Structure 1
């Protein structure tokens, strides 16, 4: 039996071996990009989801997230970065062609929104599943407020091919089944969580926000002001990922375990079934009044806020934890990316190529089981970077040892370049090493980060977030509308819209249960029972 590769160098050499390297060209990724429809003044578009775009319930590529105004664009898994970008462009083009004089907001933090703004919850039709989605969103509104829910992000989905896992698991001396493959994905996840601060540092693009966004509450941060009403933190990278954005005090004490498939599923199910006192006053079906799905810490699995999620494609009405338990992890969802305001589609090819390198690096690193101490250290690093990541000499903690962000980043980039070389070899390209080189410069000069560039633009022009956002929104709409369809044709989109409406009608026609019984069956079928 061959020696088990246990060090980074040995695992990297395993990746670089001819047979395994050849499989890396089939790594797949997909993108879920959120964006607000806004009117010509930058306020939320008031109308319902445009019918020409199809059914938000059943369309594969174009749907809504929390609000009728919050679109979500989804690309299918693809192995070629260029294909993913082309699909994003096509989806944006078809959308622009069907929203009249509206625009798509080009950044994560919304503008012209305050606590009194009418933020319409997304509607999905007359079926039970439609009502369930709407009640879930009502629960989010009642638990956290609607303002938090219209912050936009980009989710990046990543998977390694079956051919890779067959060879890799053999080298790791484990079966290439759902347990073996899932254990390797969880090893990647643990290293990602340790290094999660890298993503907001490089790609965080929300150092500033509209003052109206926090006008209804007191915040502990020493904001400075620019323009007429934009607030910013001088060294922040991603206010979207701070306590002003995606946070939940009820979730702060959850101990979701990422050590293996069974403990992850069991601890997540415990959270779903854990009563939350702060939500007990919100109706969950009493006397037919539905303001949330239940009174637990998590209504459903999707409510868990985490920068990364292990995922399995779920069948209709199948719970994510049941899908994971039955078939194991099939892909990872990276959730900590801000919308890239410098790209007309919210993400660029260099980011995708870098993320491929970064995630493969996390797999190549030897991983140990999580501890509470490590989890707290990881979270503290993440919080420091989102609030003050561009601060000179910022110190982070690596396994209990203090290290400057710049020094840690420099060391990381050296390791990442080795992984990039393997991917370059697999693709007969230099694009992966070029992507790493582009990001490496940001650890030398923080002003080159997305957040640094954005804040510099605001300060140099003494301009508000809202003004710059609208300038870009108009520029990007014109730019995309002048392009031709590249991967998905206009006819294809129109056909998908029609098919999605028919699917929604079929779902509505097939409903036979009351909503109360539907919800009882959904939660009653849980494998936690």
Structure 2
């Protein structure tokens, strides 16, 4: 593996012939939001029928819980249209959930005992049962509180016309799909490497409710300070969601999932779904006629493995995601480390999406021959340090073994992104991408401008707990979306989607299918294919501790 350049030595130079091909990449957002009542408790009511069927609706579904909505925009080349689509979904949802609210934060509040968090239901079809049992397994494995942490996923793919031209520019004579996938994997590795910057800029969870800490029962809870009788915080934290009390997954220290190639990624992740884990065997996969989880392996399915950036290929009916990647390569990448912005009605701004698009392209053009274990440790440590104390002016990160002040490294990266932003501005006199970049540079120079700092500032200024603050914002945004008129054509389209999804759900539930046991066996038999290899190829420590593994699925 060739030595990577230090932060001060890396440069970005993009050939003139490629620049027009970088504009108008496809962007999409998946935004999770808990349905809560006006007092802040998680809703115990079923997914509203007025929103359609969660299993079959393309844009309004549920994640782990029946109360955890997931709003999905189409993939669009225009970022403004994408964000408007997200806002339209909010308007439609808020008009159809009676007097309930959408929680305006990533970290849940209120009663977070398992009995207060209903697991999502998807009907009686085999696929619906599988999705529910999988979530039931997560409940047995990790408890339900962590599973209702909400986030925003930013999906991105380059324009199709870019790839053959870039392959020719790189003098690659191989298969175009393989070339595209290889370049996307390099982009992902660099997004992992620089992912701490996303946490610094867009983290919005420096404080959590004590009910969350009590439900999580994590040893790391002791590292937080008391803000008031119901809230705890870290003074320099940016994203406790991405810290040890949030999504940190100790199982990742037990085995290694390589991102150095799609083949290694599929091999390692596929293997993790085939190795039994003693603690999960004690739970049991099936007790009598009732399933508790899909299986007793380290991961029930590959989606259970949490990673801040994920390679994606849409699946076909009954197809595993690893099978899709092995068969058709990477279609887009998914950035999963963005907090719900407490200060934005839709949870994210257009400037944030523009910066993430520019950062993704920047990462595509940066050299990265692969990560060894030492570099993976650096990546993990940098992310944790920034999540826990990213605004600490003394904080230094590791760059190839060298300590670098966060501010210095962040400003260097932003300076190097300038060229990408100018390309994406595409002659627009308003220079939208350059403006978005400059907005982030101001946050680096003035940490008090970050959302995480503003959360703590608002709590202090208004003498509010974190629960009171996010409830205030949740009520404010409910009024905002309910008072905003939804375009008549958009409403008609949404109504038709609801009707179609309910009809499709009814057909699925009424269809005579093979027995569920056989359906599950057929699904997992895909692991025997050449693209998902067997468990002996994954190197695990011999004596793994029998602990409750803290992981999350999205």
Same fold, TM exceeding 0.5?
yes
Partner of 1:77: 75
2:458 alignment partner, SS class: helix
Partner of 2:210: 211
Partner of 2:249: 248
Partner of 2:549: none
1:341 alignment partner, SS class: coil
> How far 1:114 moved relative to its partner?
3.1
Matches within 5 A, 1:231-380: 231-380=232-381
**Cα deviations across residues 69-118 of structure 1 (Å, max 9, x unaligned)?**
11000001001111111111111111111111100000000111333542
For the 8 Å contact 2:218–2:245, the answer to whether it is kept is no
**Cα deviations across residues 349-386 of structure 1 (Å, max 9, x unaligned)?**
00000001101000111111110110011100001010
- The TM-score with structure 1 as length reference comes to 0.95
Partner of 2:142: 144
Greater CA drift, 166-175 or 28-37 = 166-175
In 2: Cα distance, 1:173 partner to 1:293 partner: 46
In 1: Cα distance, 2:468 partner to 2:10 partner: 47
Structure 1 outlier segments of 4+, above 4 Å = 426-429
In 1: Cα distance, 2:125 partner to 2:368 partner: 45
In 2: Cα distance, 1:487 partner to 1:328 partner: 39
For the 8 Å contact 2:23–2:426, the answer to whether it is kept is no
The gaps in structure 2 that reach 5 residues or longer are: 1-8, 534-554
> How far 1:218 moved relative to its partner?
4.9
Greater CA drift, 283-292 or 207-216 = 283-292
2:145 alignment partner, SS class: helix
For residue 43 of structure 2, the aligned residue among 45, 48, 61 is 45
Greater CA drift, 176-185 or 507-516 = 507-516
1:332 alignment partner, SS class: strand
Change (3 A) 1:496 1:262: same
Matches within 5 A, 1:54-65: 54-65=52-63
1:415 aligns with 2:413: no
In 2: Cα distance, 1:171 partner to 1:373 partner: 32
For the 8 Å contact 1:87–1:486, the answer to whether it is kept is no
Partner of 2:521: 520
Partner of 1:507: 508
> How far 1:289 moved relative to its partner?
2.4
In 1: Cα distance, 2:431 partner to 2:184 partner: 26
> How far 1:425 moved relative to its partner?
2.7
In 2: Cα distance, 1:487 partner to 1:168 partner: 43
2:91 alignment partner, SS class: helix
> How far 1:147 moved relative to its partner?
0.1
Greater CA drift, 349-358 or 23-32 = 23-32
For residue 87 of structure 1, the aligned residue among 65, 85, 93 is 85
Partner of 1:197: 196
2:14 alignment partner, SS class: helix
In 2: Cα distance, 1:274 partner to 1:426 partner: 53
In 1: Cα distance, 2:77 partner to 2:329 partner: 21
In 2: Cα distance, 1:402 partner to 1:411 partner: 14
For the 8 Å contact 1:283–1:289, the answer to whether it is kept is no
For the 8 Å contact 2:20–2:423, the answer to whether it is kept is no
1:171 aligns with 2:169: yes
Partner of 1:3: none
1:498 alignment partner, SS class: helix
Partner of 2:440: 439
> How far 1:429 moved relative to its partner?
5.1
**Cα deviations across residues 422-470 of structure 1 (Å, max 9, x unaligned)?**
2113767501110110001111111111101111111222211111111
For the 8 Å contact 2:126–2:513, the answer to whether it is kept is no
For the 8 Å contact 1:62–1:71, the answer to whether it is kept is yes
For residue 126 of structure 2, the aligned residue among 125, 128, 131 is 128
CA RMSD of aligned residues (A): 1.6
Partner of 1:490: 491
2:330 alignment partner, SS class: coil
In 1: Cα distance, 2:112 partner to 2:483 partner: 34
Greater CA drift, 159-168 or 246-255 = 246-255
In 2: Cα distance, 1:486 partner to 1:264 partner: 44
1:199 alignment partner, SS class: helix
For residue 26 of structure 1, the aligned residue among 24, 27, 30 is 24
Greater CA drift, 23-32 or 486-495 = 486-495
Partner of 1:184: 183
1:229 aligns with 2:198: no
1:32 alignment partner, SS class: strand
For the 8 Å contact 1:36–1:105, the answer to whether it is kept is yes
> How far 1:223 moved relative to its partner?
2.0
> How far 1:398 moved relative to its partner?
0.3
> How far 1:483 moved relative to its partner?
1.6
Greater CA drift, 44-53 or 486-495 = 486-495
Greater CA drift, 22-31 or 141-150 = 22-31
In 2: Cα distance, 1:511 partner to 1:59 partner: 22
Partner of 1:4: none
Change (3 A) 1:258 1:218: closer
